[in-house]
Amino acid sequence: MDLRQLQQFVVLAETGNFHRAAERLHMAQPPLSISIRKLEESLGTPLFVRTTRGVRLTQAGEAALNDARRALFHAGQARAAAVSAALGERGALRIGFVGSATYALLPRLIPAFRSAHPGIDLILHESTSAAILDRIEHGQLDAGLVRFPILNSGPYTLTPLESDAFVAAVPADGRFAEQESIALKALADEPFIMHPRADVPNLQAVAMLLCQQAGFVPRIAQEAVQVQTIVSLVESGLGVALVPGVAARYTNRRVRFLRLSSPRPAARIGIALATQQDTDDRHVQRFIAAAQRIAGD
């Protein structure tokens, strides 16, 4: 029994006549008669009573009709789902993101993508840039919002979305709090809160380079992975920090964010969308397009 035979059985049951059924199925009558006979032989029971005026269902045929219709319906649904997924209209995307993407980019990107592509489920995973890139490389994530610059090469493509620069986060009750900007060298004697090299190697390396360009090696008093945690530790009075400028979007009365007046030009940082190299996945391509539209806006 196959779907073609089931369709022929249903059409014959609905028309009650081999000639009309063959016309609806766009086939000749003799092959239809042979196919129905083979279906009955495979089931071991007649499905139709043949008369000079046409056909009518046997008791076995009546019992099989509804299930045959359901089988054809679900086969059609499966076919539509497969086609929709192939066109990028249904399915799921596994997206990694760094915590600082939640400041501005992610809250705009996710609703916009879901509105444009409601059939694609987004499965979100918060992590570090290094871990996200590793999981993309091993096929565990489809895409990821990561911090750049990325210092190590790999089998992934980066699409820059958000450009930013470091600002100095200092306690609001400290001696620098009244300033709007600061030369990084003025913080040389302060304890620094930084990202750990093992977990956030790229941002840590850029921050260290910036300090060295200002003429000093920072004294690291505390490490934290997430930008929000670093800002909280500055608020607690444990030191100062270099954080992405986007962090200043969330006002904190106990922390001041100061623009760096030197060294110039300041190293550019930002957020990029990482995907597998040369991906032809339609889901991913649509997510890239949505991210670029949001970034352009």
Listed in sequence order, the residues at least 6 apart from 6 whose beta carbon sits closer than 8 Å to its beta carbon are 68, 71, 72
- Residue range 76-102: mean pLDDT, rounded: 79
pLDDT at 84: 63
Residue 20 pLDDT class (50, 70, 90 cuts):
very high
Residue 99 pLDDT class (50, 70, 90 cuts):
confident
Residue 152 pLDDT class (50, 70, 90 cuts):
confident
Q: How far are the Cα atoms of 29, 39, 275 from residue 74, in angstroms, in the given order?
A: 27, 20, 34
How much of the chain exceeds pLDDT 90, in percent? 64
H or E stretch at 85: helix 59-86
Please tell me the least confidently modeled range out of 81-95, 180-194, 227-241: 81-95
Residue 203, classified by CB atoms within 10 Å of its CB into exposed (0-12), middle (13-18) or buried (19+), is buried
Higher-pLDDT residue of 115 and 250 is: 115
- Residue range 96-122: mean pLDDT, rounded: 90
For residue range 181-201, what is the model confidence (pLDDT) as tens digits? 999 999 999 999 999 998 888
Residue 129, classified by CB atoms within 10 Å of its CB into exposed (0-12), middle (13-18) or buried (19+), is buried
For residue range 207-220, what is the model confidence (pLDDT) as tens digits? 999 999 999 999 99
Domain range list for the chain:
3-86, 92-297
Range 3-86: architecture per CATH:
Orthogonal Bundle (1.10)
pLDDT score of 83 more than 90: no
Residue with tokens 């390396």: 205
For residue range 241-277, what is the model confidence (pLDDT) as tens digits? 999 998 887 767 899 999 999 988 667 889 999 999 8
Cα separation, 285 vs 200, whole angstroms: 27
Q: Select the CATH number that applies to the domain covering 92-297 from these four: 3.40.50.12780, 3.40.50.920, 3.40.190.290, 3.40.50.300.
A: 3.40.190.290
